[in-house]
Amino acid sequence: MSAGWPQRVMDRFLSSAINRIDSKGRVSVPAHFRAVVQKRGFTELYALRALDIPAMDVGGLDLLDRYEERIAQEDPFLQTADDMSFFIHGDGAFLKLDQDGRITVTDFLREHTGITTDVAFVGRGLFFQIWEPERLKTHGQQVRERLLKLRQAASSARAAGQATNAGVTAGQPE
């Protein structure tokens, strides 16, 4: 393991946690996520609705930068660039961390995720996601099933390739 490995790990949102929403509608961001936020110098977070899942993608300005770089690759006169800009710039919300590391769970977050009493935080490397815990559990099961099918398909393809190669080799004259 290289000497820089632990340092690089601390620059990323990793792992997951579930925290309860308090009576004022706030939830504590997990301490290890707050450490990444502080290390990266974010004073506010930006939350975007994930397109195909009931989760919020949350990060700092680097998350916006990443999306804006992608928009810049599009023809500005085509609908795709306009749609992407609407999604990124107009369909998100800033989340401010208070002095105790809490964010307010707004209607914007609740409506897209289905969050009621608990919030699941999931590290995704350069950003994290906010989920309703039961929906996250279901999604996690679906992800594992898809990955298992991919692994099994890759294993079957390798086995078929080895059998084909063995047959070609066995049938060649010595």
pTM equals 0.82
Under a CB-based contact definition with an 8 Å cutoff, are residues 116 and 132 in contact? yes
Copy the structure tokens of residue 71.
Answer: 């928009």
CATH of 5-131, one of 3.20.20.70, 3.40.1080.10, 3.20.20.150, 3.40.1550.20: 3.40.1550.20
Query: What residue segments make up the domains of the chain, in order of their start?
Result: 5-131, 133-174
User: Average of pLDDT values for 13-29?
Assistant: 98
CA nearest neighbour of 122 among 51, 53, 66, 41: 53
Q: 3-state SS string over 102-168?
A: EEECCHHHHHHHCCCCEEEEEECECCEEEECHHHHHHHHHHHHHHHHHHHHHHHHHHHHHHHHHHHH
pLDDT of residue 113: 98
* pLDDT tier for residue 168 given thresholds of 50, 70 and 90: low
Separation of alpha carbons 51 and 129, rounded Å:
12
pLDDT band at 171 (very low <50, low <70, confident <90, very high): low
Residues 58-97: pLDDT tens digits? 999 889 999 999 999 999 899 999 999 999 999 899 999 9
